[in-house]
Structures are given as C-alpha cells and as structure tokens.
Chain A
Amino acid sequence: MTGTAAAAPLAAYSFGWAMKHLQEILGYTTITKAIEATVNGIPDPLPDSFSTSNSTGLGNRGRYRRYIAERRTMQLTQFGAPARVVNARDMGEVEFVTMHFFEQLPLDPFIYGQLQSPNSYEHDGALQHLKRQVGYHARKAANTRIATKLKVLHDGVIYWDGSGNLLPTSSGAVETHSFQVNANNQSQLNGIIGASWALSNTNIPLHLRLLKKRARRLTGYKLRYAFYGENVPGYLLQNQYIQQHFVRNPGRNADFLESNEVGDLLDYTWVPAYEAFWEDQSATNQDIWNADQVVFTPEPDEQWWDIHEGSYPKPTSIYQVAADGEAAMRNNMDWIRGMGGYGLVLHNPPTCNNYYFDTFLPLLKNPDTIFQARVAF
C-alpha cells in the first residue's frame, strides 16, 4: 500500500486500515521459560515436629482434660498410727475453638481458555495457568498455618482486622485469639532476664540456667529449643561469659563462621526464626519475629502442643436430586479434616470457581511450657 502519511489512503484499496510496522504484524520474539519473581510460599523456620497434627475433631470446637500430676511427697507417719487422709490432684478442662478459612477463586473460562502457554506460543488451553493459580491458592492455606503457628509461639495471641486479615500487632484488631500465655512467661520472664543481653557483661548462662529451673518447677517439661531474632547471635558472641567458649573451641567457631547461626549452645538448640514473615493484604511484608525475641520451648509433644484439625463439610456433587434432605446430605457431602478444596462449574454463563478451606488451630495446650523472652531492653 502506498500513499503519503499525511494524505488519506487511496480509496480504491486502502480499506481504512491503520498503518503498522511489518514487525507489529508478523514479528517474532522468543519467549523463554516463565519465572516466579517471588518464591511460592513463606519460610517456616520451625522443625517439622511443630507442624504435626495429632488430633482432629468434628467441626470447629473441642475440649481437652487437664490433670495436675503428682509432684508432692508423702507425709511422715509414726509406725502403727492410722493413715492420713490426703487430697486427690486437681483436674480441669480447657475449651477451644479453631480458626476457619474459606476462599473462592473465580476462574473465567473465557479468559483462561484463550491463553498461550507461559513458555511458548502454543495454545495452553488454560491448563498451565489454572494449575499454577490453583496451586497458589492452596499455598495460601499453607502460609496461613505457618504464620499463625509462629504468631502463637512468638506472641501467644493472634490479631485479625475486620476483614479477616492477619495483623502484626493489636493495632486495628477487631478479633483477638488468645492462647492464655501468662505475663510471667513473657518479656523479661518475671525477672529471669535480669539485664539486657545487649550488655556484654550480662550473665547470659545464668539466665538460661534460671530459666531451666523455672521451667522444671512450672510444668516439669525440659526446654530444648531457643527460637531467636536476628540480633541474638551478636549478643551471644559479644558476651564475655560465652566468648571464651568460642575462642577455645575452634570447631564451634568454624560452625558459626560457616552458617552465621548459633546451633547447639548451653544445652539449648538455637534456631533462627527471623526469616519468618508474611505478605499482608497491602503487599507489605510483615516480620513475625522481633529482632530481640527468643522463644524457648520443649520438644513438641502432644502434652503441650498440637496442630488440631477441625473438619468442614465439602460437597461431593451439586444439584443432585435425592430422595430427601437426609439422603442428599448423606450422599453428597463429606466432612473434610483440616485443609481441602474443590472446583465448581456453573453454566449460565459458563464459569468456574476454585474453593479452598482450612479448619485448624495451633493448639498451645499448656501455655506455661513456653517462654517468650525479650532479651534486649
């Protein structure tokens, strides 16, 4: 086609088409493999044993019994005298309600059905994109478990705003889920952290021994883990009581230089938790672990910690006519423990939704077993 740019196209064969560069019509650009700009999922710094679920229940509520075991001694009796009457040990009950999450991801077939593959010019048929988006949706559920589990251990409480968004602090909270951690097990642990660890002459080993003693008296469970924020290794390394240990122990020195983390020290297994975060509803990364926080816990055990999974009814077929309501519910619904999902196609116009749900609670059964210490102040 010819004609000056300023003049109108020749009426005989211009057909009113806009002028484009040939490459805009027939050009070819290589498509390389798609990437994920951010890694799918958030980091979980805790050992796998903190994610194990040992209990499940119907719906979202439950209770467990709680016994005060025996740690007393007997009373001396004169030989031949009648027996003394003694008390039985107290017992109690704790009720809990799980969290529940239920989300719907709309998948428009009119869009997904007319897309290229992410890695080539071939027609994808929606498969790869859908698979990826559905996978991301499921990953949100896993992220929620990680973030809330860490919040329980770090703070003993979880805050949510009015839209159900997880909050880093109580600011703006409409719903607060308490896990009953005693104030004496927080901050400076009612005097155990007698001086800031930021001071090099603080007797940190003594604090750790006092903590072991307190833990034995409070619940009897031996502490094992110390989950720490990013400032803590520096406090330990500069501490004059601990420094000599590193100076005289080349093996420990090498370990630290290689990993930049603490490892096993002073009868605790130190685990870095400062990488924990989640992306909030404003796409802002929210740190979970305070730089000066150390949370001490025993080895996970059903006696004090569990991931309790509730259950939720999931439809197994839709719009099926049954003999009656009882048959409809019995034949077309399953109670799903914990995490689950399903897809649903609607027809007018054709559309598809991906549903994902989770019903669980990081169940801190015995809150006195953990110590949420703020070591620098």
Chain B
Amino acid sequence: MPNLWVPGPPGVRAPVTSGHRTVLAGFDYTYLPGGKLANGTLSGDAGNTGDTRTLRAGKFMGKISATGLYRNSFWGKSTVAYADNDTTITVGVATAVEIARIKTAGGGGNLSGIFVGPPSAAGTVAETAITITAVDTTAGTITTGDLNLNKVIDSLIGPADGAIYPASFIPDGWPGDIWKMVDNSGADLPVVPFPHFPIAGVVRTTQFLDVPADASTLAWLKQKLNDTATGAQGKFVWDGQF
C-alpha cells in the first residue's frame, strides 16, 4: 500500500519520477524457467537516488557461490584512477554509502571485495582482491591499504563471494515492487523472488548500469555474462557488436 500522506509544510515538492528502461534491443528475452531468488539484504542500487533498495532495470546480478542466491554484481565504479601507493579508492558518495551499508549488514568488520580493471587504458584486466577496512561516506572513499598497482578510472568494484561475475540482470520495465529489496517498513528482505531471470537476448549496451568506460573492462564484462567457466552460460548478443 503506497504512503498516501504528504508530510511537511506548504509548498510544492520536487517531482518523483519513475523512468522506464529497456535493455532489450529486439525480440524477446529467454527467461530461466522457474526463476531464481535474490538476497535482498546484500542487494542495492547506489545510483537509484532516493530509493537505493530498489533495483533498476539493467543492474547486473551474480550468484553468491555459498548460497546460490543472487545479488548485484557491482557496488559501483571508481571515480578516480587508482595509483600505486594509494590507500583508498574513490568511489563517490552514493557508492560509499551502499558499501557502508553492506559492511554493516555483514557485522561491521572488514569487507572483502574485488576490484576489476586494467592498469592503463585498454590494458589487461586484473581482478584484484581487496579488503575494505573503512568507508568514508562524506569523501566517497573506501580504505583498502596500498594495493601496489594501478587501475584506470571507472574500474568495477563488487563482492568477493562469486557474485562479481554477472550471470544475468534486472530486465526491462519501471522500478517496481518486484525489485524492492526491503519491505514496506524498510526492513531488509533476506530473500526476494527473481522470477524474470534473462538468460538470452539481444541487449543494448547503453541501457545497462555500471558499464565501464574502458574498452577492455567492458570486454571482460561482456565475456563474463556469457562465460560457461563462471557458470553464467548466458547467450546475450550486444547491439554494438554489429
């Protein structure tokens, strides 16, 4: 039941908008029969300003190896290039807030993650294990210590539990209750149905979320979505290929 009460003093509020997203370029998706389940507690969409616990269409989803539940593959991307001797990665405030939430949900201790990207533009992509010891939600940074490497801006950051490898994504439509990871009082939903689980289709690169600007990182991402080695086995054709 939506909240019908309008709080606050007189005046007009800023509009709240629902945007329709279509990742599908043509024909129809092939969905996995039976669907899957998502881990609502560990899922969020940092870029969905004002409603970060509702996942938007185009959010990559990966499988948590230990439980078989799905969560979003990427918390976000680096907004500044990472240089050797840096002890923090700059991710932006929204992503930092989401990572802080995940860290708290896991008990508040160190959070394990994967930092994916090349050391230089279009270079060889490396999947670097990181340990996040602290999060600065004001500066938009996560503390990892010195990783002794470089990574380009827009490198991907996600969990180390297997979900970093995207197997599917939230399909087309309006952000809706079906993709809310919390109940109506805001409490985490440990398990959320994931009935529309695309496993094949012609997709639009520009409509995905968390798409990296670097060409080799993007190639890594596309390959993982169809990668039998990581168990994805998707059959997605990207519109930019032709």
Residues on A close to B: CB < 8 A?
Answer: 60-63, 66, 82-100, 158, 175-180, 361, 363-365, 367
**Contact A363 B12, CB 8 Å, known A61-B5, A63-B6, A90-B17:** yes
* SS of B interface (majority): loop
A-side contacts of B18, CB under 8 Å: 90-92
Can you show 17 pairs from A to B with CB atoms below 8 A apart? A63-B6, A82-B26, A82-B27, A85-B172, A87-B20, A88-B174, A90-B18, A94-B13, A94-B14, A95-B13, A96-B13, A97-B8, A97-B9, A98-B10, A158-B11, A180-B12, A363-B12
Contact call A91/B8, Cβ cutoff below 8 A: no
Interface residues of B in 30-77 (CB under 8 A from A): none
Instruction: Tell me whether B22 and A86 are in contact (CB under 8 A).
Output: yes
Task: State whether the Cβ of B102 lies closer than 8 Å to any Cβ in chain A.
Answer: no
CB contacts under 8 Å to A, within B119-136, are none
A94 touches B12 (CB 8 A): yes
Contacts of A96 in B (CB 8 A): 6, 10-13
The binding surface of chain A is classed by DSSP as strand
Q: How far is the CB of A63 from chain B (nearest CB, A)?
A: 6
Contacts of A62 in B (CB 8 A): 6
B22 touches A91 (CB 8 A): no
Min Cβ gap A85→B in Å is 5
Determine whether the beta carbon of A88 is less than 8 Å from that of B16: no
| Nearest-CB residue, chain B, relative to A77 | B26
Interface assignment of B232: CB less than 8 Å from any CB of chain A: no
Please indicate the chain B residues that have their CB under 8 angstroms from the CB of A179 in the complex: 11-12
Does B21 count as interface, using CB distance less than 8 angstroms? Answer: yes
With a cutoff of 8 Å between Cβ atoms, the chain A residues found around residue B15 in the complex are: 66, 92-94, 180
Q: Which B residues are in CB contact (< 8 Å) with A60?
A: 10
Q: Within 8 Å CB of A87, what residues of B?
A: 20-22
CB distance from B228 to the nearest CB of A (A): 27
Give the chain A neighbours of B27 by CB distance below 8 A: 82
Q: Is the CB of A91 within 8 A of B17?
A: yes
Q: Give the docked Cα–Cα distance between A98 and B12 (Å).
A: 9
A97 lies within 8 A of B19 (CB): no
Is A85's CB under 8 angstroms from B24's CB? yes
Question: Given the complex of chains A and B, what is the CA–CA distance between A233 and B122 in angstroms?
Answer: 62
Residue with the highest number of chain B CB atoms closer than 10 Å, among A96, A98, A361: A96
In the docked arrangement, what's the CA distance between A93 and B12, Å?
Answer: 11
B81 close to A (CB within 8 Å): no
B25 at the interface (CB under 8 A from A): yes
A86 to B22, CA, bound (A): 7
Which of B9, B10, B12, B22 is in CB contact (< 8 Å) with A85? B22
Complex Cα spacing A367 to B14, Å: 10
Min CB–CB distance B125 → chain A (angstroms): 30
Q: How far is the CB of B171 from chain A (nearest CB, A)?
A: 11
- CB nearest to B25 among chain A residues: A85
Whether A90 contacts B26 in the complex (CB less than 8 A), given A177-B9, A364-B12, comes out as no
Return A118 CB to nearest CB of chain B, in Å. Answer: 38
List, in ascending order, chain A residues with CB within 8 A of B19's CB.
Answer: 90
Cα A99 to Cα B12 with chains together (Å): 11
Docked-complex contact B26 and A83, CB < 8 angstroms: yes
Contacts of A90 in B (CB 8 A): 17-20
**B14 contacts across to A, CB distance below 8 A:** 94, 180
A-side contacts of B10, CB under 8 Å: 60, 96-100, 175, 177, 361
| Structural contact, A97 and B11, CB atoms closer than 8 A | yes
- By a CB distance below 8 angstroms, the chain B residues around A100 are 10
Once bound together, how far apart are the Cα atoms of A323 and B20, in whole Å?
A: 54
Q: Report the Cα distance A62→B6, complex, angstroms.
A: 7
Instruction: Tell me, in angstroms, the Cα distance from A85 to B26 when the chains sit together.
Output: 5
- Expressed in whole angstroms, the minimum distance between the Cβ of A308 and any Cβ of chain B is 10
* Chain A residue, CB-CB nearest to B174: A88
CA distance A189 to B84 in the complex (A): 46
Taken together as a complex, chains A and B put the C-alpha atoms of A93 and B18 apart, in Å, by 9
Query: Distance in Å from the Cβ of A71 to the closest Cβ of chain B?
Result: 16
Q: State the CA gap A156–B6 with chains docked (Å).
A: 21
- Chain B residues lying within 8 Å of A361, measured Cβ to Cβ, are 10-12
Q: Chain B nearest CB: distance from A7 CB in Å?
A: 73
Taking CB atoms, residues of chain A closer than 8 Å to B26 are 82-85
Q: 8 additional contacts, CB 8 Å, given A94-B15, A96-B10?
A: A61-B5, A82-B27, A87-B21, A88-B174, A93-B15, A177-B9, A361-B10, A363-B12
Q: In the complex, are the beta carbons of A84 and B25 less than 8 A apart? A: yes
Chain A min CB distance to B204 (Å): 8
Closest 5 CB pairs of A and B: A92-B17, A177-B11, A61-B6, A88-B20, A95-B6
CB distance from B223 to the nearest CB of A (A): 24
Cα A132 to Cα B13 with chains together (Å): 39
Residue of B nearest to A61 (CB): B6
For the complex, give the distance between the alpha carbons of A84 and B18 in Å: 22
Interchain CA distance A62-B37 in the complex, whole Å? 37
CA distance A180 to B11 in the complex (A): 9
CA–CA, A63 and B16, complex, Å: 11
Give the distance to chain A from B3, nearest Cβ to Cβ, in Å.
Answer: 10
Closest to B202 in A: A85
Q: How far is the CA of A177 from the CA of B11 in the complex (A)?
A: 5
Question: Distance in Å from the Cβ of A70 to the closest Cβ of chain B?
Answer: 12
In the bound complex, how far is the Cα of B13 from the Cα of A377, in angstroms? 31
Q: Which of B11, B14, B27 neighbours the largest number of chain A CB atoms within 10 Å of its CB? A: B11
Q: Of all chain B residues, which has the CB nearest A365?
A: B12
